[in-house]
Amino acid sequence: MDSRRLLRTSAIAAATVGLLISGCSSGSSSTSATASPKGARNAAPADAPTSEALTPYYTQKLSWRACGVGKFECATLKAPLDYAKPAGGSVNLAVSRVKATGPGKRIGSLLVNPGGPGGSAVGYLQTYAGIGYPAPVRARYDMAAIDPRGVARSEPVECLTGKEMDAYTEVDQTPDDPAEQAALTKAFKDFANGCEAKSGKILPHVSTVEAARDMDIFRAVLGDQKLYYVGASYGTFLGATYAELFPERTGRLVLDGAMDPSLSSLNMNRDQTAGFETAFQSFAADCIKQKGGCPLGTDSVEDASARMEKFFKDADAEPIPTGQSRPLGESLATTGVIAAMYDQDAWPELRTALSRAMKGDGAGLLALADSYYERDKSGNYANLMYANAAVNCLDLPPAFAGPAEVRAALPAFEQASPVFGAGFAWASLNCAYWPLRATGTPHRIEARGAAPILVVGTTRDPATPYKWAQSLAAQLSSGTLLTFEGDGHTAYGRGSDCIDTAINTYLLDGTLPPRDKRCS
């Protein structure tokens, strides 16, 4: 349901479709609990804590143990539950690393984050980055990751049972009458109440600012003077926030599939709606060229869009059998299509799934939706969607205060995307019922004093529209924009030698590509 604001790198999401596919949040806390302490921006030694009360955290020793497959190590890092009260209790954060392979002089630790919010950085490291990043990068960096607070192995936010989550994902997200509208708002309220009941202790302390401060503790404990980092999707906001808080400790940062922290939640959701429309039109144009035919027709992109809209309406009126107890209604069908927009390598699977669904078998689209939600075959869900809502709703004030505001905004969302607009608009209502007030606000991030930062944008990115990368690169005082002219979400490691060479060169010797360099 609130998956419309989910931002994950396509490399790890594709690991769940085949691994599948990658939403959204922004804003910095304005409360004392998460704000940068007085003096944090002064030129203190890079390994010094930001206040005396944080010294025990910055000087802790980790007990590393073998984990995962290969030479990975894992440990538990402690951080304050509340940075305003460092002595008032701690959180346990899962961290992992694999040491540099050589040859060549070790540069430091390269932290990675796949986005979300809610994506497991440790899982991403052990299934992709730690073994799949270019060999020259892995040769000279210890590859490292920290699951952000509230995510995966780091005191995860929990909200619903598997059966409750099944019901939540099936609720009609394009209500046609007052009864359906009431059912949708009740689902949002029940979700929020479940999070508060099961995760009330951690829930107020999962903001992006706090996660960025945790990364600084991890950097210091690893013994690095500077933070080296590759963040994808939502991970770009996490990295930019770190640069804002600790500009003098910022090393080489790659922000791939960038977010725009200056946007309100409403504008962000509306932009993302347009981004998925752009991606769908690209899919449709490719689909109608297929020799085997296209389930959306072979006439034009406009006709394909009309057929897609009709398919969703038909699924709303009469859900499609899947061979399971869960039929494919409009909400799950839409999520399945959205999932495949993140990576063009998933387009053939989507064509097959749509073709079968139009013949009465919705199993393929349901599988895509389940992968997106990280639901396993036993009906259990990872905490991705719970953490996603918890961070999003804390980072920014809600897009809408209630259903009346959604209805008023529907024309703008439907203009942005005739296919997805209504669903995206109603999905943007989820934070209206959150039990906590947002601590963050939209604002520009300049990070004055930070080392050069590389921002990467993809021209037809569905989840993080290209104009967001343009905006972030312009905001950052040391930002440089690298453009990938293509489809899909994020660019690094997705087949462009031009992109990969530019990023690898920056990571290995600090040399930025020429300003406004474009790759295809």
What domains lie within the chain, and their CATH numbers? 1-52+96-520 (3.40.50.1820)
Q: Give CA–CA dist 447/439, Å, rounded.
A: 20
Catalytic residue among 29, 109, 199, 233: 233
Q: Cβ(173)–Cβ(426) under 8 Å?
A: yes
Rounded average pLDDT over 465-493: 97
Cis-peptide into 261, omega within 30 deg = no
Is pLDDT of 294 > 90? yes
The tokens for 474 are 């312009």
Distance CA 365, CA 349 (A): 9
Give the mean model confidence (pLDDT) for residues 450-474. Answer: 97
Condensed to tens digits (0 to 9), the pLDDT of residues 202-245 reads 999 999 999 999 999 999 999 999 999 999 999 999 999 999 99
Query: Is residue 252 within a helix (H) or strand (E), and if so which, with residue range?
Result: strand 250-256
Kind of pairing between the strands at 108-113 and 115-116: unpaired
- Residues 6 or more apart whose CB falls under 8 angstroms from that of 186 comprise none
Residue 498 region by backbone torsions, left for phi larger than 0, else alpha for psi between -120 and 50, else beta = alpha
DSSP H helical ranges for 436-496: 466-475
What percentage of residues in the chain have a pLDDT greater than 70? 91
Question: Active-site residue among 260, 305, 489, 496?
Answer: 489
Alpha-helix residue ranges (DSSP H) falling in 35-155? 55-58, 121-124, 130-132, 135-140
Q: Is 176 one of the catalytic residues?
A: no
Amino acid present at 156: P
pTM here is 0.92
461 catalytic per annotation: yes
Q: For the segment 13-41, what is each residue's pLDDT rounded down to a tens digit?
A: 444 333 222 333 333 333 333 333 333 33
Residue carrying structure tokens 């892995």: 138
Token pair 């995966």 is at which residue? 152
Q: How confident is the model at residue 51 (pLDDT cuts 50, 70, 90)?
A: confident
Among 172, 214, 461, 500, the one annotated catalytic: 461
How far is residue 304's CA from residue 290's CA, in Å, rounded to a whole number?
Answer: 13
119 pLDDT band, cuts 50/70/90, is: very high
Closest of 204, 209, 175, 109 to residue 445, by C-alpha: 209
* Run of H or E residues at 519: strand 517-519
pLDDT value of position 73: 98
Q: Pick the residue with more confidence: 98 or 33?
A: 98
CA distances from 18 to 84, 206, 357, 372 (A): 43, 30, 20, 11
Based on the residue annotation, tell me whether 205 is a catalytic residue of this protein.
no
Residues 6+ apart with CB under 8 A from 283: 340, 341, 344, 347, 350
**C-alpha pair distances (Å), 367 with each of 74, 162, 277, 351, 471:** 32, 16, 22, 13, 35
Confidence grade of residue 46 (pLDDT, cut at 50, 70, 90): low
Strands (E), 47-128: 65-66, 73-80, 90-98, 108-113, 115-116
